[in-house]
Amino acid sequence: MLTYTLRRLLLAIPTLLLISLVIFLLVDLAPGSPASEIPLTVPPEVRAKILEALGVNEPLHIRYLLWLKQFFYVEPLNGIDWLFGTDLAGDMQRIISYQTRSPVFPLIGQRLPQTLTVIGTAYLVGVMIALPIGIYSAYKQYSLFDQFGTMFAMIGFSVPTFFTGTVFIIVFGVWLGWFPTKYDTTLKVTDWASLIKQLRQMAMPVMVLGLANAAAISRYMRSSMLENMKQDYVRTARAKGMSERTVVLKHVLRNSMIPVVTIIALGIPSIFGGAIITENLFGVNGIGAALIGAIHGNDLPMVQTLAFIFAILIVTFNLIADVLYGLLDPRIRYD
Amino acid sequence: MTETTLERPESQIAAIWHQFRQHKGAVFGLCVLAFLVAFVLIGPLLWQTEVLKVSEALKVKNQGPSLRFPLGTDQLGRDMLDRMMSAGRVSLAVGFIAMMIAIFFGTFIGILAGYFKRLDGALMRLTDMFLALPLIPLLLVMVMLFRDRIAKLVGPEMGAFILIVFAIGLTSWMHAARIVRGEVLALKEREYVLAARSIGAPPRRIILRHILPNVVSPVMVAATLGIAEAIITESVLSFLGLGFPPDFPTWGRLLFDGLQYMQLYPERVIWPGLAISLTVLSVNYIGDGLRDALDPKARGR
Amino acid sequence: MKLKTALLGAACAFAFAPAAFAERGADGHVNVLYWQAPSTLNPYLSSGTKDVESASLVLEGLAGFNEKGEVVARLAESVPTVENGGVAADLTSITWKLKPGLLWSDGSPVTSADAKFTWEYCTHPEGGCAQAARYEGVSSIDTPDAETIVIHFSAPKPNPYMAFVGGTSPILQAAQFANCLGAAASTCTEQNFGPIGTGPFRVTEFKTNDTVSLEANPNYRDPAKPAFATMTVKGGGDAEAAARAVMETGEFDYAWNTQINPELQAAMAGGGKGTFLNGFGTLVERIEMNMTDPSSDLAEGERSTTAHPHPILSDIKVRTALSMAIDRQVLVDIGYGAAGRPTCNLVPAPDMFASDNTGCLTQDIEGAKKLLDEAGWVPGADGIREKDGRKLSVLYQTSTNPVRQDFQALIKGWWEEIGVATELKNIDASVFFGGDAGSPDTFQKFYSDVEMYANNFDGTDPEPYLAQYMCDKIPGPANQWQGENINRFCDPAYDALVKEMSATAEMGKRAELAKKMNDMLTKDSMVVVPLVDRGRLSAASTTLGGVVLNTWDTEMWNAQDWFRVK
């Protein structure tokens, strides 16, 4: 297992480099340019000058190598400077976003709290709802609970989030007025009142996303439980006289959790890039919204950096999921 | 002495069908799906919508359900029933075909990765790379590179259809691949597989006869989720202008277009939303039923 | 007796005082929603109007435009004109005088050196300044003393109100931006995100593409203004959500650009929490006709170039027929409601430049059919017209936008009634307007027969706008498709008029020339087919007073006059 993990970690480096190159080529090849957001009233010569100043016209390999150097050398130095107050980075040029003409990493840092708070909570809530529903649905297969659980899951992932989100906004925000329709990112939680405010403005996006997450995970949980409930060892355990509770929660659940845990681990990167529509709808202005905004504006450095961070997360969590899978299931042999 | 006649043993297909029919939800799903497919395929033959001039159409805009327009009209006076039927054809086709492409690639890569250790590393890294690719630039590039060429061959609508279906299929196989690989890794160590290997069965035979039928279960779940994802992804793409030409609606597009009128005319959102949900629901139930029917331990219950 | 009257007078003054002399900051907080969030607060590095708008709360120019399009002084004492001697008689220079005692929000005095520095900042060759066009023609700037700015032009400039006038050309503090010239502009994040200005508010926090937090400027020149102590400009979402936030939930006081469909407008307006404000400027949604052949059978580099004239649209009868078949009032009713007006003019405003061209406003299907018959296009068996074996079919493209797609559907319907087969195409806005020379879908490349989009011009003078249609501005492979003459329209008589206008100073004559050029492009040649004069539509809460929608400057132009209605 250890050699496997080390081997994977070593393999991850060239993989990530290759991924970064592919993403760079893809975004560069894609039609569209950062000039699309400049109003048409600006004459073409001025536009050309703007693009020149952004560095868009440099040859491809120069831009890629510059980005690599900035990402792996300049930005970590800036990070150390920020943490420890040193001045190692000096005047070295950082990765600059075309849209804002400011460094990319502080932008990401600004957006991270919202994403983690709202989207992360939604994921957690989704998982916590999904597991009991999946377990009980499988245990009482075809019962009324199962039917309802299935229907809830169906609604959860068959209806797109832009639909549920808009319905929620109109029902809870406009008609009932229970929750604000726009997320205030400047709200700082300092006391009880502001905490209530924060919870109130998080309620709708968390509900919308949590529903979608819960639906998918509960299906997997249920399907995994069903498979294991039919195994011979369950029959044996029951025959031995164990209580249902022990059988289900101690034997079946543990074995069923294996694929589900890996699926949960695989879903974590999606917190950072997947909730684009929800973020847009509620004005949460997190990382997903930043990515889609950058893609629309053809902001290559921003897209490249965000997509690469996303790739790192995916590779890391894939590794974690695989290692977990190997650790939890003794039947799996990697070496 | 009374003679007991032996019943002819059921063929495997009949046995599966028999088991399937036991699952009420699956039968319900099958009926609903059959209705939806009939609605979009046969419906247009039965319901001939009037071809109105623009000025006449505008006189009947924003109407509710009536005999002339069973599902009402939209803001330009177009018949919603007709739009739902033609949109359904596209949506269902996109959903199914994109899902099949995704499942095909996903299962193929998943089995290879799970069974052949040497290929595992490389294939899983390929999966990671596809997961990390941003969908929209990928689509933009594909559209830019191929749209005109394909449109020349098969016309703009068919060209857009092929592009979208491949784009969605090529970007959603990763999930299925992971699931299948996980299952194959576990199955590889089962006794019957070890037994088959020990008698010298070639890998191809083991995969086709032993592994493949057993990964059907998780693949079913992934497939049913895949259809929903395909239809929804297509609607998101439509609203970004990367989909079909504007006069070629899909359910997802109708849903998105109806959102701005939701407070005034909720039915414009309800019809396509209901259609998408029913499709996914029925496919899911069918998947459930199929999984139960194909599971040998469940048969005979 | 005198004391009594004096006391009475004082009592009366106090009675009126709350209304006239409201204290700065007395009205608390005001919430503004710009659903396209500002990315930077430096309008010279801006990537869109939203940035200019937000920055105008903090930065000001010597003058600006009011809602009627007139130049009004802001930092300057008065507006220089030829009559008052501020503008030289030969139109080669303009002299501005700053108001005395002006301070930046950090307390330092505003001097003419700041204006000169701003000019250097924006005209620096490596700066990539987005508003460089405002300083075109400026040869030098003199600062004889701390309050006088003399701008010299290289050639007589009939309209000198470009530099330092309006939200797109404010004055930056030289001390703050000293190290930000040229290539260093993008390293000055602190300055770009928190410019020091003379406006009614100053920046306390800026989260880019998200929120701007502002507070009243303690050094603002009017001690009683602004009435609001703090302001938030929030971004994100779309037009419907923005309208909802003001008109239905009341969470925001002002929402910019709430372009929603007319029915929703009507429904929300009845709510009573807010009102829609609309004003018309120069934005015209139009259909451009391609005078060259975009066929994919031609080689790359030959498509849509003047080497191949358009086989169908070169005939003015066809173009006229296509325009006649469109009912512009229906388009307005469906798409814009109160926020749009049908128009036949490329230049609909200011009034003195607007031609009285109204011939296209009535739809005439029969007349269109007759014209096509006259042109030799005969309806075939399927209803589509043909001539010499070629079908009358057009490819009609535009950007992705629900209103534009509705327009496409309607226009396709009308054109099919007159026997023209129409194929629709919509392209993502970031590609359509991106100008990427490698993409076939940009509006400059125009690889379709007709395309639809909207355009306008900055300020009140249409000369540079009309000059776009000169023969040497045609986009093509030679200039990386960066030309502005989208239709590939080339007429030496038109070019001559443009040259004449650039040499004419007298306003009446300029207006006449502009009208003539407008007519040449629209009703005389039908190369540009204007559809809708699109106005601005924004939403303001009923509790927000003092809002005046200005389409000639930014919408925040008079934020200092806003107050809370009691």
**B: neighbours with 3+ CB pairs under 8 Å?**
A, C
Asked if A284 lies within 8 A of C439 by C-beta distance, the reply is no
* Cβ neighbours of residue C389 closer than 8 Å, sequence gap 6 or more: none
DSSP state of C485: -
Digit-coded pLDDT (tens) for C30-85: 999 998 889 899 999 887 888 999 999 999 999 999 988 889 999 999 999 888 88
B140 chain-A contacts, CB cut-off 8 A: 30-32
Interchain contact C94–B (C-beta under 8 A): no
Query: What is the least distance, in Å, from the CA of C127 to any CA of chain A?
Result: 6
Task: Check if the beta carbon of residue A219 is closer than 8 Å to that of residue A153.
Answer: yes
State mean pLDDT over B47-74: 82
Best A102, A170, A181 residue to mutate vs chain C (most C CBs within 10 Å): A102
In this prediction, residue B242 has a pLDDT band, given cuts at 50, 70 and 90, of low
User: What distances in angstroms separate CA B275 from CA A50, B65, B225, C541, one per listed residue?
Assistant: 48, 17, 16, 39
Asked if A289 lies within 8 A of C236 by C-beta distance, the reply is yes
**CA B244 – CA B281 distance, rounded (Å):** 25
Task: Check if the beta carbon of residue C243 is closer than 8 Å to that of residue C277.
Answer: no
Asked if C410 lies within 8 A of B263 by C-beta distance, the reply is no
| Phi, then psi, of C395 in degrees rounded to 5 | -100, 125
Residues facing residue C285 across a β-bridge: C454, C532
Bridge-based pairing state of the strands C201-207 and C211-216 = antiparallel
C49 chain-A contacts, CB cut-off 8 A: 39
Query: What is the least distance, in Å, from the CA of B267 to any CA of chain A?
Result: 13
**CA C138 – CA C92 distance, rounded (Å):** 9
Using CA coordinates, name the residue in chain C closest to B264: C264
Asked if C464 lies within 8 A of A43 by C-beta distance, the reply is yes
Q: What is the mean pLDDT of chain B?
A: 80
C507-519 and C492-502 helices cross at what angle (nearest 10)?
160
Among residues A307, A131, A125, A291, the alpha carbon closest in space to that of A205 is found at: A125
3-state secondary structure B219-274: HHHHHHHHHHHHHHHHHHHHHCCCCCCCCCCCHHHHHHHHHCCCCCCCHHHHHHHH
**CA C115 – CA C302 distance, rounded (Å):** 47
Q: Using the CB atoms, write b or e for C43-56: b if 16+ within 10 Å.
A: bbbbbbbbbbbbbb
* Cβ neighbours of residue C36 closer than 8 Å, sequence gap 6 or more: C48, C50, C235, C257
Q: Which residue has the higher pLDDT, B120 or C115?
A: C115
Instruction: State both tokens at B163.
Output: 């592009």
Task: Check if the beta carbon of residue C423 is closer than 8 Å to that of residue C465.
Answer: no
Asked if A106 lies within 8 A of C189 by C-beta distance, the reply is yes
C234 chain-A contacts, CB cut-off 8 A: 182, 184, 283
Task: Check if the beta carbon of residue B288 is closer than 8 Å to that of residue A222.
Answer: no
A177 chain-C contacts, CB cut-off 8 A: 249
Interchain contact A318–B (C-beta under 8 A): yes
State mean pLDDT over A155-179: 79
**CA C505 – CA B230 distance, rounded (Å):** 62
Bridge-based pairing state of the strands C230-235 and C201-207 = unpaired
* Residue in C39, C241, C438 closest to A99 by CB: C39
Q: Give the A window 143-182 contacts with B, CB below 8 Å.
A: 147, 150-151, 154-155, 157-160, 162-163, 166-167, 170, 174
**CA A140 – CA A149 distance, rounded (Å):** 11
Q: What is the pTM of this model?
A: 0.84
pLDDT at residue C15, as a whole number: 44
pLDDT at residue B297, as a whole number: 57
* Angle of CA points C195, C201, C206, to nearest 5°: 50
**CA C517 – CA B285 distance, rounded (Å):** 67
Asked if A163 lies within 8 A of B273 by C-beta distance, the reply is yes
B245 chain-C contacts, CB cut-off 8 A: 423-426
Asked if C439 lies within 8 A of B144 by C-beta distance, the reply is yes
**CA B196 – CA A11 distance, rounded (Å):** 33
Using CA coordinates, name the residue in chain B closest to A325: B182
* Cβ neighbours of residue B90 closer than 8 Å, sequence gap 6 or more: B161, B244, B248, B249, B250
* Residue C496 neighbours by CB distance under 10 Å: 10
Task: Check if the beta carbon of residue C113 is closer than 8 Å to that of residue C143.
Answer: yes
Task: Check if the beta carbon of residue C50 is closer than 8 Å to that of residue C36.
Answer: yes
Q: Give the C window 147-186 contacts with A, CB below 8 Å.
A: 183, 185-186
User: What distances in angstroms separate CA C534 from CA A26, A267, B107, C456, one per listed residue?
Assistant: 37, 45, 53, 10
* Cβ neighbours of residue B118 closer than 8 Å, sequence gap 6 or more: none
In this prediction, residue A148 has a pLDDT band, given cuts at 50, 70 and 90, of confident
Interchain contact C305–B (C-beta under 8 A): no
Task: Check if the beta carbon of residue A14 is closer than 8 Å to that of residue A324.
Answer: no
In this prediction, residue B285 has a pLDDT band, given cuts at 50, 70 and 90, of confident
Query: What is the least distance, in Å, from the CA of B53 to any CA of chain C?
Result: 7
Query: What is the least distance, in Å, from the CA of C60 to any CA of chain B?
Result: 37
pLDDT at residue B130, as a whole number: 85
Among residues C295, C293, C255, the alpha carbon closest in space to that of C273 is found at: C255
Instruction: State both tokens at C451.
Output: 């395309």
Residue B236 has pLDDT above 60, yes or no: yes
C328-335 and C262-269 helices cross at what angle (nearest 10)?
50
Digit-coded pLDDT (tens) for C195-244: 999 999 999 999 988 899 999 999 999 988 899 999 999 988 788 888 98
Strongest mean pLDDT among A32-41, B263-272, C55-64, C150-159: C55-64
User: What distances in angstroms separate CA A290 from CA A31, A111, A307, C327, C564, one per listed residue?
Assistant: 19, 8, 11, 41, 34
**CA C442 – CA C451 distance, rounded (Å):** 10
Residues facing residue C215 across a β-bridge: C202, C230
3-state secondary structure B154-201: HCHHHHHHHHHHHHHHHHHHHHHHHHHHHHHHHHCCCHHHHHHHHCCC
**CA B230 – CA B240 distance, rounded (Å):** 15
Interchain contact C400–B (C-beta under 8 A): yes
Q: Give the B window 210-269 contacts with A, CB below 8 Å.
A: 217-218, 221, 225, 228-229, 232, 235-236, 252, 255-256, 259, 262-263, 269
Task: Check if the beta carbon of residue C130 is closer than 8 Å to that of residue C47.
Answer: yes
Sequence letter at residue C7: L
Instruction: State both tokens at C497.
Output: 């008029």
Using 50 as the pLDDT threshold, list the residues of chain C that sit under it. 1, 5-21
Asked if A158 lies within 8 A of B276 by C-beta distance, the reply is yes
Question: A327 by DSSP, 3-state: which?
Answer: helix
Sequence letter at residue C435: G
* Residue A86 neighbours by CB distance under 10 Å: 10
Interchain contact B54–A (C-beta under 8 A): no
* Angle of CA points C125, C126, C131, to nearest 5°: 70
**CA B203 – CA A8 distance, rounded (Å):** 26
ipTM over 0.90: no
Instruction: State both tokens at A164.
Output: 């549920």
Return the sign of the alpha-carbon dihedral for residues A112, A113, A118, A119: positive
**CA A22 – CA A53 distance, rounded (Å):** 25
Interchain contact B22–C (C-beta under 8 A): no
Find where tokens 């405002």 sit: C134
Report the Cα–Cα distance between both ends of chain A, in Å, rounded: 7
State mean pLDDT over A39-60: 84
Region of C105 on the Ramachandran plot (φ > 0 left; ψ -120 to 50 alpha; else beta): alpha
* Angle of CA points A251, A222, B106, to nearest 5°: 110
Region of A93 on the Ramachandran plot (φ > 0 left; ψ -120 to 50 alpha; else beta): beta
* Cβ neighbours of residue C374 closer than 8 Å, sequence gap 6 or more: C317
Burial of A207 (0-12, 13-18, 19+ CB in 10 A): middle
Question: A50 by DSSP, 3-state: which?
Answer: helix
Task: Check if the beta carbon of residue B127 is closer than 8 Å to that of residue B178.
Answer: yes
Task: Check if the beta carbon of residue C548 is closer than 8 Å to that of residue C562.
Answer: no
Residue B300 has pLDDT above 70, yes or no: no
Best B28, B92, B125 residue to mutate vs chain A (most A CBs within 10 Å): B125
pLDDT at residue C20, as a whole number: 45
Interchain contact C246–A (C-beta under 8 A): no
Q: Which residue has the higher pLDDT, B246 or C78?
A: C78
Find where tokens 């929620």 sit: A168
Digit-coded pLDDT (tens) for A281-312: 787 888 888 888 888 778 888 888 988 888 88
Sequence letter at residue C215: E
Among residues A242, A239, A23, A264, the alpha carbon closest in space to that of A130 is found at: A264
Least confident residue range of A16-25, A47-56, C62-71, C494-503: A47-56
Q: Give the C window 265-284 contacts with A, CB below 8 Å.
A: none
